[in-house]
A and B are shown apart, each in its own frame.
Chain A
Amino acid sequence: MTTSGYSYERMFAFSPPRPSLSPELLATLRPVSLAKSRTLPLGEPWRALVPGAGLRRGSTVVVEAPVGLGGLSLALSLVSEASTQGHWAAVVGVDDPGVVAMAELGVDLRRVLFVPRPRGAWAESASDLLDGVDLLLVRAPSRAAHGAARRLMDRVRERGTVLIALSEPRTPWPLPADLFFRVTQAEWVASSRLDARYLTVRVSGRGEAAQGGEHVVVVPNRRGRAEAR
């Protein structure tokens, strides 16, 4: 260093202040994949029970319940908040969807595509729909083949969709999921009519969800919605 006093600080000392950018412009300059945009929102009661309070894009969620014990309602309640906020969903392999129940749960029917009877082509129709929707609810006809499930999950990860697979304890989803809901008990509360169903759900998974926990949620309640107990 010489004594001329030249220092690098002087290079910036007189530079004019940088113009401040408008917030909108800043928003477009941020990296594309914000953590927030990489998750789809979850409604009540799941917001408090799922790590990250959302469904991570590209992840696979498995909902396992014995037939008729609330698996479908639970899976639809996972879809409802994202659907309300404008995301598209598709339902593959659910033969006779209860449209009224879906509306009661808060699913926006204008943005749901159904393939009720994929006639043996469930994996193909699911992967056709993957590019077009943000949430894909699949009930495989019987035990899903390992290879088909693997391919579907790979494509889901690549496209950033959320796959929700409905399964039964008899025919489990063949691969481990990022998030796993298991209905262990379903109990109806009834007065002069069916009022509410208390589902005991075990939530587990990978990463933050690994420790898991057992929760009791109400799906559906007196208004047909899902809520915490």
Chain B
Amino acid sequence: MEQLLAIWIEPLAQEQPDGSTLRDTLALLDALGALCPFTEVARLGLWVLPLRGPSRFFGGSDAVLRAVRQSVLDVVGVEPLLGVAEGLFCAELAARRALIVPLGASDAFRRAQPLSVLGRKDLTITCQRLGLHTLGAFADLERARVAERFNKHALALHRVARGELSEMEGQRDVRLARRLAQLRGEEDLVEEQRGFFGQRGAGDDRAEAAAHRVRRRLGADAIVVASLRGGRAPEDRATLVPWGSPSVSARDLAPWPGQLTAPSPATTLAHPVPLQLRDAADRPVVMGGRGTLSAEPTAVIFSSPLRREIVWYAGPWPLVERWWSRHSRRAHLQMVLASGEALLVVAESSRWWLVGIYD
């Protein structure tokens, strides 16, 4: 998980009827966006930005914290609470306590939190009766035991407690970005997906009504729409956002030299699956620093003891993008297995990941 700097500004968390909250939020977003372009407003009162890139630029995380604190004071005139931790969930907790959790200590930090931070009173009380007081104790429960006792929301919280999910449901306000865009005048108030020539047909209205029904049944994030943006690898080019959230800017037609060419995998894994590549002598195949393989891969082993022979492969095609960030370098490999499947595999941070299946 990426180390995040969370900024908590209590006075901006409650929306004022005069609209000043949104205006201040927007002004602060612009100011912080000048420090780090990846700054986002998770919800009113909570800002978040990745720490690693800016801290290289400003010369250390202390310098970033100082710059952020100063720009909040300049724009809003309030002293913010700053916190650093990995993942949005921990980062917000750290911010509310004004803590800097060192890299790698977020797990311990999360496990030491009281259960009340999950914001579910029934869960907290039941667990306290069972003698579980911290997130760590709750996380150690078996998933099946939690499922027996609580509903699916508690299961999601259990995954948060285990660190499998980096943020809680409801930590982000999905509608906020759209409201800010409207305030900026970038987006019409009636912005919707449009039919041909900008018209809306009866079909569009019917589809919208159907989407509403699914959303009522399964929750806000269950129904998503897709769009394309610029990028080189298929996993970068796809954007899936919950239906009803602001549409991402129109299709990016800029050339992307080094883009992986068509055909693209019909299944692109949102969460890549780790796997191992082995050579003929059953040694692990590793990516060298110069984008070469240590040996020809002949077999692929998935996390379960599932081994498949590789009959053909192509690549690696190295990509060095955003070298200042966590995604320092990647290399893609296409392969066809003896059983007939074709896979897209990527080497990243000295491991192999399955990112696409040409299904």
* A joins B in a complex: yes
Residues of chain A touching chain B, judged by Cβ–Cβ distance below 8 Å, are: 66-73, 76, 86-88, 90, 94-104, 109-119, 121, 124-125, 128-134, 186-188, 190, 192-194, 196-197, 220-224
Q: Is the CB of A113 within 8 A of B314?
A: no
Q: Is the CB of B269 within 8 A of A96?
A: yes
Do A101 and B266 contact each other (CB < 8 Å), given the known contacts A73-B359, A121-B218?
yes
Q: Is the CB of A224 within 8 A of B223?
A: no
Q: Is the CB of A119 within 8 A of B262?
A: no
**Which chain B residue has the least Cβ–Cβ distance from A107?**
B226
CA distance in complex: A102, B208 (Å): 21
- Which residues of B have CB within 8 Å of A94? 267
Q: In the assembled complex, how far is the CB of residue A143 from the closest CB belonging to chain B, in whole angstroms?
A: 19
CA distance in complex: A59, B21 (Å): 53
Between-chain CB contacts (< 8 Å), 19 pairs: A69-B340, A72-B359, A73-B359, A95-B270, A96-B267, A102-B266, A113-B210, A114-B223, A118-B218, A121-B217, A128-B210, A129-B211, A129-B214, A134-B203, A190-B312, A190-B336, A194-B263, A194-B342, A220-B358
Do A73 and B312 contact each other (CB < 8 Å), given the known contacts A68-B341, A118-B222, A121-B218?
no
Of B204, B240, B263, chain A has the most CB atoms within 10 Å of the CB of B263
Of B152, B223, B270, chain A has the most CB atoms within 10 Å of the CB of B223
- Which residues of B have CB within 8 Å of A121? 217-218
CA distance in complex: A134, B203 (Å): 9
Q: Is the CB of B226 within 8 A of A67?
A: no
Q: Is the CB of A114 within 8 A of B226?
A: yes
- Which residues of B have CB within 8 Å of A222? 262-263
Q: Is the CB of A104 within 8 A of B358?
A: no
Extra contacts besides A87-B203, A96-B267, A194-B358 (18): CB < 8 Å: A66-B340, A68-B342, A76-B266, A96-B268, A96-B270, A97-B240, A98-B356, A98-B359, A100-B237, A101-B263, A110-B227, A119-B152, A128-B214, A133-B207, A188-B342, A197-B342, A223-B263, A224-B264
- Which residues of A have CB within 8 Å of B340? 66, 68-69, 186-188
Which of B33-41, B42-50, B193-201, B294-302 sits within the interface? B193-201
Do A132 and B208 contact each other (CB < 8 Å), given the known contacts A114-B223, A194-B336?
yes
Picked from B211, B217, B262, the residue with its CB within 8 Å of the CB of A132 is: B211
Residues of chain B touching chain A, judged by Cβ–Cβ distance below 8 Å, are: 152, 193-196, 201, 203-204, 206-211, 213-214, 217-218, 222-228, 234, 237-240, 243, 261-270, 312, 314, 334, 336, 339-342, 356-359
CA distance in complex: A110, B152 (Å): 31
- Which residues of B have CB within 8 Å of A188? 312, 336, 340, 342, 358
Do A86 and B196 contact each other (CB < 8 Å), given the known contacts A69-B341, A100-B238, A117-B222?
yes
**Which chain A residue has the least Cβ–Cβ distance from B216?**
A128
CA distance in complex: A8, B127 (Å): 94
Q: Is the CB of A72 within 8 A of B210?
A: no
Q: In the assembled complex, how far is the CB of residue B195 from the closest CB belonging to chain A, in whole angstroms?
A: 7
- Which residues of B have CB within 8 Å of A111? 193, 207
Q: Is the CB of B207 within 8 A of A88?
A: yes
Q: In the assembled complex, how far is the CB of residue B258 from the closest CB belonging to chain A, in whole angstroms?
A: 13
CA distance in complex: A114, B340 (Å): 28
Q: Is the CB of A86 within 8 A of B152?
A: no
Of A72, A128, A192, chain B has the most CB atoms within 10 Å of the CB of A128
